[in-house]
Amino acid sequence: MADGPIAKLLEELARLPGVGPKTAQRYAFYLLNRPKEQAQALAGAILQAREQVHRCSVCLNLTDADPCAVCRAPGRDHGLVCVVEEPKDVAAMDKTHEYRGVYHVLHGAINPLRGIGPDDLGVRALLARLNDPAHPVREVILATDPDVEGDATALYLAKLLKPLGLRVSRIARGVPEGGDLDYVDEATLARALAGRSEW
Amino acid sequence: MADGPIAKLLEELARLPGVGPKTAQRYAFYLLNRPKEQAQALAGAILQAREQVHRCSVCLNLTDADPCAVCRAPGRDHGLVCVVEEPKDVAAMDKTHEYRGVYHVLHGAINPLRGIGPDDLGVRALLARLNDPAHPVREVILATDPDVEGDATALYLAKLLKPLGLRVSRIARGVPEGGDLDYVDEATLARALAGRSEW
């Protein structure tokens, strides 16, 4: 058990986020008990993704092509840019099938406690993109997370972008679809009240 | 996001036990955001473990040497064999630092519902081992899991091994160390009562 290759595998698996020794053990013995091809497929997928995936030069999303599939899509509205924190937010947004614009991925949010400022995020690339006369942008939707860091980032970007003469918007805050009102936390309910619309 | 290498990586990660699409995404973006060396180290550890790790010819535990480190250890009592279901049970048992005998790994338990019988487990190898006059075994400790399948397996092995003239024992059942008695389930408490020892 404390043998070399198993210990090494346990160690590497335990580096994954949220994976402790028990989960690493579970994954390791699963990989050791499955057909060899499956373990090789996982290792190959990791290597290939790490080799081929990089940031899109336009929107900074992770992609294996450049520009990425979204930035290349002719059916997309390139005058509408949705700013998100992480690549997974692009996936979440696209799953709605409601949004037909393009994206810009910041790869994080402003977080003074962790020493993350605008220069550590994809802000400069966003400005360069908005200033490019070849691709005029009409509106920027700020879709950073609805938490302190996401709000700070949205506020910062709004101040920075409004002078450029663009429409700048923030996604709506309120009660989520479905579920019970009495399970919604007070902060969300207060936001939903403050942001009520006339019917 | 639906791009080739990322989708492939998500698919392979989601095959791990207990990993759904969200966790796969978390692992994937973690691996893509870390230094390339870390992703390569994980892929390498998977490949190396799958290449070098096999079953010990004596005890069937997973190892990269043959016989495994435990079966080779001169300080171990080779006349005492602890039968467990899985390699991870060997690790758990060895962590106690109380047990100085050797092991035998069945790689499962008898489970008629899943069609797993004694022939699918390491029972034949255990018998061959116990019948080997070069390595006399004094006692077999049945340490299969304390559940229905583990008990059935222990019962089956006890019936099989007792005629060989060995001492056959089963690990004790009762309340676990530490914690509150009122949090212990009824079945465990009933077992602890029935198995009480005079003081």
Average pLDDT, chain A: 90
The sign of the dihedral angle between the CA atoms of B109, B51, B43, B10 is negative
User: How many angstroms separate the CA atoms of A6 and A103, rounded?
Assistant: 42
Nearest CB neighbour to B42, from listed A12, A18, A38: A12
Name every chain B residue with its beta carbon within 8 A of the beta carbon of A36: 50
- Name which of A3, A30, A47 is nearest B43 (Cβ-Cβ): A47
Total count of residues recorded for chain A:
199
Per the CB < 8 A criterion, the answer to whether A142 and A158 are in contact is: yes
In Å, how far are A26, A145, A193 from A174, measured between CA atoms? 40, 13, 8
Contacts A29 to B, Cβ<8 Å: 62, 86-88
Cα–Cα dist A135/A12, whole Å: 44
- Asked if A23's CB is within 8 angstroms of B40's CB, the reply is no
The string of pLDDT tens digits covering residues A95-105 is: 888 899 999 99
Percent of chain B residues past pLDDT 70, beyond the cut: 98
Stretches in chain B below the pLDDT threshold 50: 1
Q: Which CATH superfamily is domain B5-52 in?
A: RecR Domain 1 (1.10.8.420)
For residue A111, list its beta bridge partners. A116
CB contact under 8 A, B29 and A2: no
The CATH 3.40.1360.10 portion of chain B extends over 62-198
**pTM of the full structure:** 0.78
Cα–Cα–Cα angle for B55, B57, B60, rounded to 5 degrees: 45
Instruction: Quote the CA–CA distance of B188 and B195 in Å, as a whole number.
Output: 10
When scoring A31, A42, A52, A121 by the number of chain B Cβ atoms within 10 A, the one with the most, hence best to mutate, is: A42
Residues 6+ apart with CB under 8 A from B92: none
B32: nearest CA partner in chain A: A50
pLDDT digits (tens, 9 = 90+) for B84-113: 999 999 988 988 888 999 999 999 999 999
CATH fold for the domain made of B62-198? Dna Topoisomerase Vi A Subunit; Chain: A, domain 2 (3.40.1360)
H-helix or E-strand spanning residue B119: none
CA atoms of B116 and B108, how far apart (whole Å): 8
Phi/psi class of residue A121: alpha, beta or left (left: φ > 0; alpha: ψ in -120 to 50)?
beta
User: What is the interface pTM, i.e. ipTM, of the complex?
Assistant: 0.78
Please give the span between the terminal C-alpha atoms of chain B, in angstroms, as a whole number. Answer: 66
Domain limits, CATH 1.10.8.420, in chain A: 5-52
Q: Which of B6, B17, B43 sits opposite A43 (nearest CB)?
A: B43
